[in-house]
Amino acid sequence: MTASANRQAPADASWLDRFDVVAEVTKSFHCANFIRVGQCYIFDLRGVLDPARSTAPLCLGIIAKLHPALLLAADRAAEGLHPISPGWQDFDCFDTGIDHGGTGKVFVRLSLRDRHSGALVEDARTAAG
Protein backbone atom coordinates (compact mmCIF):
# COMPACT_ATOMS: atom_id res chain seq x y z
CA MET A 1 0.00 0.00 0.00
CA THR A 2 1.40 3.37 -0.94
CA ALA A 3 1.78 6.16 1.59
CA SER A 4 -0.64 8.35 -0.34
CA ALA A 5 -3.34 5.67 -0.30
CA ASN A 6 -2.82 5.17 3.44
CA ARG A 7 -3.48 8.85 4.04
CA GLN A 8 -6.81 8.77 2.25
CA ALA A 9 -9.88 8.22 4.35
CA PRO A 10 -13.40 7.75 3.07
CA ALA A 11 -15.48 10.90 2.85
CA ASP A 12 -17.75 9.20 5.40
CA ALA A 13 -15.36 8.01 8.13
CA SER A 14 -17.88 5.42 9.35
CA TRP A 15 -17.28 3.42 6.16
CA LEU A 16 -13.92 2.22 7.55
CA ASP A 17 -15.72 0.39 10.36
CA ARG A 18 -18.78 -0.67 8.37
CA PHE A 19 -17.53 -2.07 5.06
CA ASP A 20 -15.05 -4.54 3.62
CA VAL A 21 -13.86 -5.06 0.07
CA VAL A 22 -14.20 -8.77 -0.63
CA ALA A 23 -12.51 -10.59 -3.50
CA GLU A 24 -14.38 -13.88 -3.84
CA VAL A 25 -12.98 -16.68 -5.97
CA THR A 26 -15.44 -17.40 -8.79
CA LYS A 27 -13.34 -19.87 -10.84
CA SER A 28 -10.19 -21.82 -10.10
CA PHE A 29 -8.42 -24.62 -11.92
CA HIS A 30 -4.98 -26.20 -11.51
CA CYS A 31 -3.98 -23.53 -8.97
CA ALA A 32 -0.53 -24.18 -7.52
CA ASN A 33 -1.66 -22.50 -4.26
CA PHE A 34 -4.79 -24.66 -4.03
CA ILE A 35 -7.16 -21.70 -4.12
CA ARG A 36 -10.75 -22.93 -4.42
CA VAL A 37 -14.05 -21.45 -5.61
CA GLY A 38 -15.87 -19.69 -2.77
CA GLN A 39 -12.75 -18.73 -0.85
CA CYS A 40 -12.10 -15.02 -0.43
CA TYR A 41 -9.68 -12.26 0.43
CA ILE A 42 -11.00 -9.55 2.72
CA PHE A 43 -9.59 -6.01 2.66
CA ASP A 44 -10.48 -2.82 4.46
CA LEU A 45 -11.26 0.33 2.48
CA ARG A 46 -7.59 1.31 2.58
CA GLY A 47 -6.65 -1.92 0.79
CA VAL A 48 -5.14 -3.69 3.80
CA LEU A 49 -5.61 -7.46 3.71
CA ASP A 50 -7.23 -9.05 6.76
CA PRO A 51 -5.53 -12.47 6.82
CA ALA A 52 -7.46 -13.64 9.88
CA ARG A 53 -10.81 -13.27 8.09
CA SER A 54 -9.67 -14.19 4.58
CA THR A 55 -10.23 -17.82 3.64
CA ALA A 56 -8.07 -18.12 0.50
CA PRO A 57 -4.37 -19.02 0.75
CA LEU A 58 -2.02 -16.11 0.24
CA CYS A 59 -1.10 -15.72 -3.43
CA LEU A 60 0.93 -12.78 -4.67
CA GLY A 61 -0.23 -13.45 -8.24
CA ILE A 62 -3.81 -12.48 -7.46
CA ILE A 63 -3.04 -9.91 -4.74
CA ALA A 64 -0.81 -8.00 -7.18
CA LYS A 65 -3.60 -7.93 -9.77
CA LEU A 66 -6.04 -6.59 -7.16
CA HIS A 67 -3.76 -3.78 -6.00
CA PRO A 68 -4.87 -1.20 -8.63
CA ALA A 69 -8.54 -1.94 -7.90
CA LEU A 70 -7.96 -1.53 -4.16
CA LEU A 71 -6.30 1.85 -4.77
CA LEU A 72 -9.25 2.82 -6.97
CA ALA A 73 -11.68 1.74 -4.22
CA ALA A 74 -9.81 3.93 -1.70
CA ASP A 75 -9.90 6.88 -4.11
CA ARG A 76 -13.62 6.43 -4.80
CA ALA A 77 -14.41 6.17 -1.08
CA ALA A 78 -12.37 9.33 -0.41
CA GLU A 79 -14.54 11.11 -2.97
CA GLY A 80 -17.75 9.83 -1.35
CA LEU A 81 -18.48 7.42 -4.22
CA HIS A 82 -19.38 3.75 -3.96
CA PRO A 83 -15.92 2.12 -3.62
CA ILE A 84 -16.40 -0.68 -6.14
CA SER A 85 -16.32 0.62 -9.69
CA PRO A 86 -18.79 -1.12 -12.03
CA GLY A 87 -16.03 -1.58 -14.60
CA TRP A 88 -13.45 -2.96 -12.18
CA GLN A 89 -14.99 -5.98 -10.49
CA ASP A 90 -13.54 -9.07 -12.17
CA PHE A 91 -9.88 -10.06 -12.06
CA ASP A 92 -7.67 -13.04 -12.77
CA CYS A 93 -4.24 -14.01 -11.49
CA PHE A 94 -0.93 -13.54 -13.30
CA ASP A 95 -0.62 -17.24 -14.18
CA THR A 96 -1.23 -17.71 -17.90
CA GLY A 97 -3.18 -20.91 -17.34
CA ILE A 98 -2.44 -24.50 -18.22
CA ASP A 99 -3.57 -23.98 -21.83
CA HIS A 100 -0.84 -21.39 -22.34
CA GLY A 101 2.15 -22.92 -20.56
CA GLY A 102 1.23 -21.92 -17.02
CA THR A 103 -0.01 -24.06 -14.19
CA GLY A 104 -3.52 -22.79 -13.56
CA LYS A 105 -5.83 -19.84 -13.24
CA VAL A 106 -7.89 -18.13 -10.55
CA PHE A 107 -10.65 -15.57 -11.09
CA VAL A 108 -12.16 -13.30 -8.43
CA ARG A 109 -15.00 -10.80 -8.24
CA LEU A 110 -14.84 -7.73 -6.00
CA SER A 111 -17.78 -6.62 -3.92
CA LEU A 112 -18.46 -4.33 -1.01
CA ARG A 113 -19.80 -6.16 2.03
CA ASP A 114 -21.20 -5.12 5.37
CA ARG A 115 -18.49 -6.02 7.86
CA HIS A 116 -20.91 -7.33 10.49
CA SER A 117 -23.60 -9.12 8.49
CA GLY A 118 -21.60 -10.01 5.39
CA ALA A 119 -24.46 -8.70 3.24
CA LEU A 120 -23.70 -7.31 -0.21
CA VAL A 121 -23.74 -3.49 -0.28
CA GLU A 122 -24.97 -2.21 -3.63
CA ASP A 123 -24.38 1.46 -2.84
CA ALA A 124 -22.37 2.58 0.20
CA ARG A 125 -23.83 6.08 -0.04
CA THR A 126 -27.36 4.86 0.69
CA ALA A 127 -26.60 1.84 2.93
CA ALA A 128 -28.31 2.00 6.29
CA GLY A 129 -25.85 2.62 9.07
- Mean pLDDT, consecutive 10-residue segments, the chain of 129 residues? 54 87 95 93 94 95 93 91 90 76 87 94 81
Distance in Å from the first CA to the final CA of the chain? 28
- In 3-state terms, what secondary structure has residue 85? coil
Q: What is the pTM of this model?
A: 0.86
Q: Answer for the pair 103, 32: CB distance below 8 angstroms, yes or no.
A: yes
Ranges of each domain in the chain:
19-114
pLDDT tens track for 34-44: 999 999 999 99
The partner residues of 29 in beta bridges, in order of sequence, read: 105
* C-beta neighbour count of 81 within 10 angstroms: 16
pLDDT digits (tens, 9 = 90+) for 72-98: 999 999 888 999 988 889 999 887 666
